[in-house]
Structure 1
Amino acid sequence: MPEAVIDEAMIESMRAKIGVELRIAHSVNNEEATRIAVAKFAGGIGDVNPLWTDAERGERSDYAGPVAPPSFVIGCFSGIQFGWPGLGSFHSSTDMDLLAPVYWYDTITARCRYDGFTGPRPSSFAGRMVTDHFTNTYVNQHGEAVAEIRWQVVNYERAAARATRSGRKAAPTVPHPWTPEELAEVERRVLAERPRGDEPLWWEEVKVGDPVATLTKGPIGLTDEVAFIAGGGTPIPRLKAHAAALADYADHHAWAFRDPVTGAQEPIYAVHYNQAAANAMGVAYQYDVGFQRQCWQIQLMTHWIGDSGWVKHLSAQYRGFVYLSDVLELGGEVTGKEIDAAGEHVVHVRTFARNQRGDDVMPGTATVALPSREADRSPVARRARSTR
């Protein structure tokens, strides 16, 4: 991979791009929420809620129609490689608002704006870093905004990251050395965790300090990453093969590297399933996708609140890598409740995602609207589309 250091010419070049709406056609993965597209996306994030895949269940729900998981917009478009040639990068945080449901056969149009950068700043990880800021918007065929995502990417000097790797704290053993008994217990937990479904979680019954029902992911495997990509996990750019891929790489040299084992050109996105790519980024092993982790946080909330609750807002920071073979336990705790300015009965939650080493690799927050015994409609019914 080409390598560079942050200099004034690079900074001035990026400063001139602030406020630009970016060309994203090459990284759009879904445009229409067809039945199969929704099923592949739900399967790709490991969400077993039948609300997303059973049309009759959707019709019976407060949505009054077949519906996609709220994270589906991430499978339409998530992110883009942009600027800072020769630097490594990783998605570091997300702040998002979910505004309206996505129904089966909706058409979603995504846009992405570059909002600028902060830094450069020194880093113990990799020389110097800069942090990019982006805003994604998603609109359906009726011109209705369904989501807005504000996300950040850290860009770093790749050579410095690789040089300092040996001097950091002891690296974890990867892949993790699980025993058969430990694996059996993890899989038992995964299969026991079910979505709340059509049983309402009433606002009046939730108390500050209450735990959020946990959600377990892992051990993360290669197929988990492939399923996320195949389900619309928006690789950057959209994955191609043979001549189609080589033509792209000829036009955009920074999109690919040559695998030292196979000799093939591979996309930079392969850091999530190719060890040579991860090593070239200064990382010891393949690791998950930031927006994949974000989908898990959304699933944590939809599992807990049930089919009548609505996830209004989420924020998350991606701290540390989730390597293939890791297991995550996602959960949270209620930190507050109120009737908000929109008149909805909301609950505020602090969330976590802990790996088997005890590290919280995704601290975050969420605000959810719940059905109330005092309200005439659930939060979902308030947002349900009257004509489709």
Structure 2
Amino acid sequence: MSETTEQTERTAGVIDPSDVEQAKSIRGLLFPSKVPELHTTASFDSIRNFARSYGDDNPLYTDESYGEGTRWAGQVAPPLVGVALNKPLLGDQRPIHTKQPAFRGVHNFVSGTAWELYRPVRPGDSLYTFQGLESVEEKRSEFAGKTLILTRRHVRMNQNAEVVSVARVILIHAERKAARSRGKYDHEPTAYTEEDLARIDAIYASERRRGADTRWFEDVRVGDGLGPMAKGPLTTTDIIVFHSGGYGFSPFAPASNRLGWQNRQRIPAFYTPNEQGIPDVSQRVHWDPAWARQVGAPMAYDYGVMRDCWLSHLVTDWAGDDAWLVRQSSQMRKFNYLGDTHTLTGEVTAKRMENGRAVVDLTLTGVNQRGEETCLATATVALPSREHGEVELPDAPAELTADAARLMQRHLELKSARGQARS
């Protein structure tokens, strides 16, 4: 075995200390995102398909004309549509000393997100993102040995440089070899009887959307419940449908045939041989049980972002057409494996005024069929008030508004220069 081969085997799937130091050196910096998502501009169909991808049939999102009779005067997108919508934001060449660390061959898990929402996304809107690392923390984990916890901030703006949302994503980088060696968790896939399925179906049948029936702030009481809402049993089809709604393409851009080959040349460490010896994306932990076991998980599992969307679905169904989800913060406590079923519930924990808006605070939770709480969240929702009037949208932080204007101006300058060069 050559020295180069020995070095490759020794470092494959291991967190490189130089990557850690590089991550720490760029904390607090924000850079334009130049990678497109599956969708770059919202349309009636892309909004509808994203909502349906996580099981949401709210006509505010899925009906082309329903929204015309609401305060929004047209169709709007679900709150977390930013995970499926991004148009490349042109920017100056990134200095070499600020490059993004590679973390090649290291597994990446989303363990939670925190969203702040400022404006709706409508058909015709494009979203542009500038992002960067906010914090870097080294830890040791029972599941994966040495881990690195990164908080990445995504600021999304529309074509008018209006800040739409800010999302902080908590990412756990885990060493592949360590995770595989620690894959000792017992997991017995659930087999469902007709009675089990009937109980799940009964929850689906009982779910009600508030819709046009205004939920007034004055009518809400602390202790009021949300749900239950059912999600599952989780199938590979559910994962495929979530992808078809737009999630999971940036920055790795899974592709097929010649495009897949080109992608394999670009990021070879993202591809590993399957049981037939065929290079396939490491992302298949979400639909390939055999590869998931190689990672150290007993079964393929969902995306944390999918459960984020589920939790927001619980909130928007409860709140109704006139409300606004101000913020939502989640934690993913356990994996959600293929075959698992979740029941989502929530509770009103407080009523208060915030910056002139009547808001309620909520706690949300998702419990699987084994009685395990796999996800939990808090949310703040602005509701219309008989005393204070309809909901006014919150203002984005002034510094981010200034950053958005500056970056959009540079984007337009570079776009114009490119057009002139081509002509």
Which residue identity is paired with 2:83? Answer: I
Cα distance in 2 for partners of 1:210, 1:21 equals 40
Partner of residue 145 from structure 1, selected from 163, 170, 186: 163
Q: Which residue of 2 aligns with 1:154?
A: 172
Q: Distance in 2 between matches of 1:38 and 1:7?
A: 39
Partner of 2:151: 133
Residue 254, structure 1, aligned to residue 269, structure 2: yes
- Indicate conservation of the 8 Å contact 1:106/1:141, yes or no: yes
The 8 Å contact of residues 48 and 63 in structure 2, kept in 1 or not, is answered as no
Q: Which sits farther off after the overlay, 350-359 or 26-35?
A: 26-35
Report what 1:113 is aligned to. Answer: 132
- How far 1:382 moved relative to its partner? 11
Give 3-state SS (helix, strand or coil) of 1:362's partner.
Answer: strand
Give the distance between the partners of 1:82 and 1:367, measured in 2 at CA.
Answer: 34
Secondary structure (helix, strand or coil) at the match of 1:165 reads coil
Measured in 2, the distance between the counterparts of 1:360 and 1:313 equals 21
Determine if the alignment matches structure 1 residue 11 to structure 2 residue 20. yes
Q: Which residue of 2 aligns with 1:200?
A: 214
**Correspondent of 2:111 among 69, 77, 92:** 92
Paired residues of 2:19 and 2:101 also in contact (CA < 8 A) = no
> How much identity, in percent, do the aligned residues show?
31
Cα contact 2:118–2:394 (8 A) shared by 1: no
Q: Aligned to 1:58, which of 61, 67, 73? A: 67
**Deviation digits for residues 309-337 of structure 1, max 9, x if unmatched?**
11001100011110111111111111111
Q: Match of 2:308?
A: 294
Q: 1:268 to 1:23 in 2, by over 3 A?
A: farther
Q: CA deviation at 1:260?
A: 1.4
Deviation at 1:381, TM superposition (A): 12
The whole-number CA distance in structure 1 between the counterparts of 2:154 and 2:25 is 20
Amino acid at match of 1:73: G
Displacement after TM superposition at 1:104 (Å)? 1.5
Relative distance call for 1:269 and 1:320 in structure 2 (3 A) is same
Shift of 1:114: 2.3
- Pick from 280, 293, 300 the counterpart of residue 279 of structure 1: 293
Instruction: Judge conservation of contact 1:63–1:380 (CA < 8 Å) in 2.
Output: no
Could you list the runs of 5+ residues in structure 2 that have no partner in the other structure? 1-8, 88-99, 397-423
Number of equivalenced pairs: 374
Compared CA separation, residues 7 and 254, structure 1 to 2 (3 A): closer
Name stretches of at least 5 consecutive residues in structure 1 with no aligned partner: 384-388
Q: CA deviation at 1:186?
A: 0.9
RMSD: 2.3
Report how far residue 87 of structure 1 moved: 2.2
Question: What's the counterpart of residue 381 of structure 2?
Answer: 368
Residues 82 and 194 of structure 1: CA distance in aligned 2, closer, same or farther (over 3 Å): farther
* Cα distance, 1:246–1:22 mapped onto 2, change above 3 Å: farther
Task: Report the counterpart of residue 336 of structure 2 in structure 1.
Answer: 322
2:156–2:164 contact (8 Å) kept in structure 1: yes
Q: Which residue of 2 aligns with 1:68?
A: 77
1:31 counterpart residue number? 40
Asked whether the equivalents of residues 29 and 133 of structure 2 are also in contact (C-alpha less than 8 Å), the reply is yes
Distance 1:181 1:114, change over 3 A: same
CA shift for structure 1 position 35: 1.0
1:22 Cα deviation after fit: 5.5
TM-score, normalization: structure 2?
Answer: 0.83
C-alpha change, 1:77 and 1:358, in structure 2 (3 Å) is farther
Which residue of structure 1 lines up, in the alignment, with residue 352 of structure 2?
338
Q: Secondary structure at the match of 1:345?
A: strand
Alpha-carbon deviations, 1:104-158, whole Å to 9, x = none? 1211112221234111x22222211110110111111221111110111111222
Q: Does the 8 Å contact 1:309/1:379 carry over to 2?
A: no
Q: Which moved more, 1:81-90 or 1:231-240?
A: 81-90
Give the greater-gyration-radius structure (CA): 2
Q: What is the rounded CA distance, in whole Å, between the counterparts of 1:238 and 1:10 in structure 2?
A: 22
The separation in 2 between residues aligned to 1:382 and 1:133, in whole angstroms, is 23
The residue number in structure 2 matching 1:386 is: none
